[in-house]
Amino acid sequence: MRKGNRDIQEIREIVLLCLGCGVFAVWSIAVLTALFFGRPMDAQVHAVMLAAETGLFGGAYLAGRKADRNGKDSNGA
């Protein structure tokens, strides 16, 4: 697909996936750093990061479904 013909939902899906991967990378680095220095992380950190990941990846999934019109092609079939 050409860049000029992208739907707003496709752009939203790409942005949400990139943000989700970024949050996951920060979460992973924080866990590894806490493990390395021997300091336990609070459960609240895991809860907030899990909620953020669920929201971002879930939003990307929904944007992808909306862009594809729930699996239907452009003719509606």
Which range of residues forms the domain containing residue 38? 17-67
Of 34, 14, 33, 10, residue with least CA distance to 22: 14
Most distant CA pair in the chain, distance: 58
Which pLDDT score is estimated for 7? 78
Tokens encoding 6 = 């992208």
Give 45's pLDDT tier (boundaries 50, 70, 90).
very high
Q: How many domains does the structure of the chain reveal?
A: 1
Q: 4 burial class (0-12, 13-18, 19+ CB within 10 angstroms)?
A: exposed
Residue 3, in any domain of the structure:
no
Which pLDDT score is estimated for 37? 95
Rounded distance between C-alpha atoms, residue 39 and residue 36, angstroms: 8
Which pLDDT score is estimated for 8? 84
39 secondary structure, DSSP code: -
State the average pLDDT for the chain: 86
Residue 23, in any domain of the structure:
yes
- What is the per-residue pLDDT across 50-76, written as a single tens digit (0 to 9) for each? 999 999 999 999 988 887 665 555 555
Residue 24, in any domain of the structure:
yes
Residue 21, in any domain of the structure:
yes
Give 43's pLDDT tier (boundaries 50, 70, 90).
very high
